[in-house]
Amino acid sequence: MNGIKGDLLVTTYAALSEHGIDRPLPLDYRSLRGLQKKFLARFRKGREYISYYAIAAVFARYDLAMARKYAQALPHVHKAVQVLLEGSDEEPVVTSELREVMLDIISEYREVGEPVFQRILDVVEKDLNDYRGMSRGRLVESLEGPVELT
């Protein structure tokens, strides 16, 4: 049984243990909201990502197989959020590990037939490739520049 209680997504041990996850996975919504308000909202590209989230939410899957993929991505996502919000300018934001787990999730959504959603996935995939290994400082500099429309 899955449910949302306040700011914590609670997933039962039994269901996830079948998929190799041995504990409930709390989502740190405060950090994610902080990313949106303190970082993404400052940049045009960041605001585009905020709008992508709203569109992606329509197509999000919450079956156990996807829950496992999200669980594998969470530690990497939270690390990237912390680097963006509090990290040094030399720290990489998109690690190879983050890129790989996110590309795996994106591949699961390639079956969705909505062209706007597929375009968003294309942009996110390109950004994962472009930003992989890039330092926080360089990433911020690139966000402050003009946004490339694809």
Predicted local distance difference test score (pLDDT) of residue 28: 67
Assess if residue 139 is contained within a domain.
Answer: yes
Assess if residue 58 is contained within a domain.
Answer: yes
**pLDDT higher for 147 or 66?**
66
Could you report the per-residue pLDDT of 53-69, keeping only the tens digit for each? 889 999 999 888 898 89
What domain count does the chain have?
A: 1
Say how far apart CA 71 and CA 38 lie, in whole Å. 25
Question: Residue 76 belongs to what domain range?
Answer: 29-144
Assess if residue 57 is contained within a domain.
Answer: yes
Could you report the per-residue pLDDT of 6-52, keeping only the tens digit for each? 333 444 444 555 555 555 555 666 777 888 888 999 999 999 999 99
Assess if residue 5 is contained within a domain.
Answer: no
Predicted confidence (pLDDT) at residue 98 exceeds the cutoff of 50: yes
Percentage, residues of the chain above pLDDT 90: 54
Assess if residue 41 is contained within a domain.
Answer: yes
The Cα angle at residue 84 between residues 78 and 85, in degrees rounded to 5: 90
Predicted local distance difference test score (pLDDT) of residue 5: 40
Assess if residue 150 is contained within a domain.
Answer: no
Assess if residue 96 is contained within a domain.
Answer: yes
Predicted local distance difference test score (pLDDT) of residue 129: 97
Residues 6 or more apart whose CB falls under 8 angstroms from that of 43 comprise: 143, 144
**pLDDT higher for 100 or 67?**
100
Assess if residue 93 is contained within a domain.
Answer: yes
